[in-house]
Amino acid sequence: QKEVEQNSGPLSVPEGAIASLNCTYSDRGSQSFFWYRQYSGKSPELIMFIYSNGDKEDGRFTAQLNKASQYVSLLIRDSQPSDSATYLCAAYRGTDKLIFGTGTRLQVFP
């Protein structure tokens, strides 16, 4: 079992819809969680992080964390074609390094 798992996708949503990206993790010692966006041919870009159970909102993005279920999600409201990218989930265990999932490819079509 991978430490951080994501569905590879692609997840296809129409423009204006809510895109829901999911991530599960196996290590209950994981303390915080990060979402990176990676456009094709580019480097990962940090878009959100979350430490506590519940929701954290930043503009059109909402990160959700449920430590009991070991589940993290990223919601993108009013999805735009420019949101089309691969989204990487990462878990931090407090051991100096992030553990990345393999990413979910999101396609937003007009």
Partner 1 sequence: DAGVIQSPRHEVTEMGQEVTLRCKPISGHNSLFWYRQTMMRGLELLIYFNNNVPIDDSGMPEDRFSAKMPNASFSTLKIQPSEPRDSAVYFCASSLFADGETQYFGPGTRLLVL
How far apart are CB 76 and partner 1 at their closest, in Å? 21
How far apart are CB 73 and partner 1 at their closest, in Å? 19
88, 104, 106, 108: residue in contact with partner 1 (rule CB under 8 A): 88
List 90's β-bridge partners, or say none: 34, 100
- The reply to whether 98 sits near partner 1 by the rule CB under 8 A is yes
23, 73, 103, 108: residue in contact with partner 1 (rule CB under 8 A): 103
The backbone torsions φ and ψ at residue 15, rounded to the nearest 5 degrees and listed phi first, read -55, 135
CB 42 within 8 A of CB 96: no
CB 85 within 8 A of CB 23: no
How far apart are CB 108 and partner 1 at their closest, in Å? 22
For partner 1, give the closer residue by CB, 20 or 32: 32
Question: What residues have CB less than 8 Å from 41, skipping those under 6 apart?
Answer: none
For partner 1, give the closer residue by CB, 45 or 78: 45
List 46's β-bridge partners, or say none: 36
